[in-house]
């Protein structure tokens, strides 16, 4: 078993982030598009090797961010529902996502971490990124708290190595 290497990126600023939309699948703002382009340029300048695979949430704002990153880096992305947003019920690309409990989110993210391998660029949302970060260092919070994603800014980059022997129980 080998380590899982993750570059975690939160989507760019969305219309919901600035109070212009309550649509769970809202798009990026013009600033969000620029942030996404800048994230792509940062990744390109990091000299990321070609062994990375891209995974993205099914939500539009994450898809738009991944498209800008792909344009800058040549990386291709596949959709992975396990790294989707956490919150109110939503219909995204004709899929219905129900509201989840803390345990549901934790289980979904643990499943992602234990069933992926290699090197991944992950374009997701604040709560999944916050939880992935905690789990990657061995912290398993008993309750999901909003402070989990307070420091997960739009288009932030987090580069993590998740040890293959990390116990999630």
Containing domain of residue 15, as a range?
A: 4-162
State the DSSP string of 119-152. Answer: EEEEEE-HHHHHHHHHHHTT---SS--GGGGTT-
126 falls within a domain: yes
> Which residue ranges in the chain fall short of pLDDT 50?
169
pLDDT at res. 80: 97
68 falls within a domain: yes
pLDDT at res. 1: 52
CATH number of the domain at 92, please.
3.40.50.1240
pLDDT at res. 169: 46
pLDDT at res. 144: 78
User: How many structural domains does the chain have?
Assistant: 1
Q: What is the tens place of the pLDDT at every residue in 123-158? A: 999 999 999 998 887 777 777 777 777 789 999 999
pLDDT at res. 67: 98
pLDDT at res. 100: 93
State the Cα–Cα distance between residues 95 and 91, nearest whole angstrom.
5
169 falls within a domain: no
167 falls within a domain: no
39 falls within a domain: yes
155 falls within a domain: yes
35 falls within a domain: yes
168 falls within a domain: no
Is the Cβ–Cβ distance between 10 and 156 less than 8 Å? yes
């Amino acid at each position: 078993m080998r380590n899982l290497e993750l570059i975690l990126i939160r989507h760019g600023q969305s219309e919901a982030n600035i109070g212009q939309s309550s649509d769970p699948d809202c798009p990026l703002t013009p600033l969000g598009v620029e942030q996404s382009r800048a994230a792509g340029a940062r990744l390109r300048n990091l000299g990321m090797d070609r062994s990375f695979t891209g995974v993205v949430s099914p939500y539009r704002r994450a898809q738009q961010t991944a498209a800008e990153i792909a344009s800058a880096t040549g990386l291709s992305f596949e959709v992975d529902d396990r790294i989707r947003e956490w919150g109110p019920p939503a219909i995204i690309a004709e899929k219905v996502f129900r509201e989840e409990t803390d345990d549901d989110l934790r289980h979904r993210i643990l499943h992602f971490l234990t069933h992926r391998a290699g090197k991944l660029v992950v374009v997701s949302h604040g709560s999944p990124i916050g939880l992935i970060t905690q789990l990657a260092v061995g912290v398993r919070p008993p309750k999901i708290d909003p402070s989990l994603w307070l420091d997960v800014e739009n288009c932030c980059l987090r580069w993590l190595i998740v040890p293959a022997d990390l116990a999630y129980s």
